[in-house]
Amino acid sequence: MNKKELAKQLLLEIEKIYPDASTELKNWKTPFQFLVCIILSAQTTDKQVNKVTKKLFGKYPDAKSLSIADIDDITNIVKSVNYFKTKAKHIIETAKLLQNNYNGVPPKDVVELQKLPGVGYKTANVFLNDLYRSNQGIAVDTHVVRVARTYGLTKNVNPTKIAHDLEKLYPKRDWYKVNVFFVLYGRYILKAKKRIEEKVVLKEEIVL
């Protein structure tokens, strides 16, 4: 099968494994809280983020309260996530910008979102696709990179370039699916260290 056919079939096969797939980030109730979760999750497991957000949102539930929070208090709350000092600074600065410019609610535009501290192409698209199925782009993290390269859907290593490669392979209506399904498949089956071989799909198409 050609690359587009393979891409389509791969997504269908993974969707069969995870028919009820959704984000594994917990403790959020609003778009603002979800954005904060995603910022904190960069190079950190969702499970680790979930351990800090219950306390964080219990004390600072919205952009207004977080925008005036003491940096030392935020740093202490999120200290168990990777790069916690930088992330503490970013979520406070993001809260200030959202409170001042967007009435405390994150915008629904991928370009506008990337103006916020700690929000790049991946974070913006995870936010938009998971919440709104916005399909303004495909979010690519380490799991998506591994799945896409393993099946020869891309030869690139740069996440943004891989995102654009995948965006050419999938119809726009399916862009929101790619991240959530590839992440779960890469996290639990096509693992970096040891694949769960009996659950790997389309083995004959693997190139790496």
* Residues 44 and 119 reside in one and the same domain: yes
| 162 shares a domain with 78 | no
Amino acid 188: pLDDT? 96
With a cut of 90, say whether residue 126 has pLDDT above it. Answer: yes
Domain extent at residue 121 = 31-132
Question: Do 40 and 116 fall into the same domain?
Answer: yes
Last residue of a domain, one of 100, 116, 132: 132
33-56 pLDDT, tens digit per residue, is 999 999 999 999 999 999 999 999
CATH number at residue 92: 1.10.340.30
One domain for residues 175 and 105: no
Q: Which residue has the tokens 């913006």?
A: 124
pLDDT by residue (tens digit) across 160-171?
999 999 999 999
Look at phi and psi of residue 103 and say left if phi exceeds 0, alpha if psi is from -120 to 50, else beta. Answer: left
Q: Which of 73, 102, 132 is the last residue of a domain?
A: 132
What is the model's pTM? 0.92
Amino acid in position 1: M
The per-residue pLDDT for range 83-118, each reduced to its tens digit, is 999 999 999 999 999 999 999 999 999 999 999 999
Residues 71 and 147 grouped into a single domain: no
Residues 61 and 126 in one domain: yes
Q: Is the same domain home to 154 and 194? A: yes
> CA 18, CA 184: separation in Å to the nearest integer?
8
- Position 153 scores a pLDDT of 98
Per-residue pLDDT at 196 exceeds 90: yes
- The residue from 132, 154, 185 where one domain ends is 132
Short-list 187, 188, 207, 189, CA closest to 199: 189
**d(Cα 163, Cα 165) in Å, to the nearest integer?**
5
The CATH number of residue 7's host domain is: 1.10.1670.10
pLDDT, residue 80, reads 97
Residue whose tokens read 């590839």 = 182
Query: In residues, how long is the chain?
Result: 208
Number of domains forming the structure of the chain: 2
Contacts 24+ apart (CB under 8 A), 83-87: 83/42, 83/43, 83/44, 86/118, 87/39, 87/40, 87/42, 87/118
With pLDDT > 70 as the criterion, what percentage of the chain qualifies?
A: 100
* 100 and 51 co-located in one domain: yes
Same domain, 56 and 98: yes
Band of residue 208 on the pLDDT scale cut at 50, 70, 90 = confident
